Amino acid sequence: MAAPERLRTKAEFGLVKQTGQVFRGRFVLVSVLVNSPDHLRRFGFIVTRKTGNAVIRNRCRRRLKEIIRANEAYMNDSVWTVVIARATLSSARYVDIEKDFISAYNAAMEMRSR
């Protein structure tokens, strides 16, 4: 994932978490903020120490990045997304995480479009 596609600052994460729509899945929390069309689609990841040690946290982050990379054709442009990993993510299978993320993302987008 290229640098322009990532949320980096605390202010960007805070903006998405405060004003975006949140949907809770089994393994992830997805917060979505729809921006004006001139903004790029961007993603941020939060994996806390509750998930595990550094090796496990990085593995979880890599899995989430791969899920987004594999499904980015189905994701809306000009949307900022923060994905927060739950502690159960570390022991879950990739397929289950992918299904959970896609359903949470779609639900958050449906809530936002209402």
pLDDT of 8-36, one tens digit each?
999 999 999 898 888 999 999 999 988 86
Lowest-pLDDT choice from 9-13, 72-76, 100-104? 72-76
Task: Assign 79 to helix, strand or coil.
Answer: strand
Amino acid identity of residue 30, one-letter, is V
CATH node for 3-113: 3.30.230.10
Cβ–Cβ under 8 Å, residues 86 and 29: yes
Tokens of 35: 């921006």
Residue 114, pLDDT > 80, answer no
Q: Beta-carbon neighbour count of residue 19 at 10 Å?
A: 11
Cβ–Cβ under 8 Å, residues 71 and 78: no
- The residue ranges of every structural domain in the chain are 3-113
Higher pLDDT, 81 or 4: 81
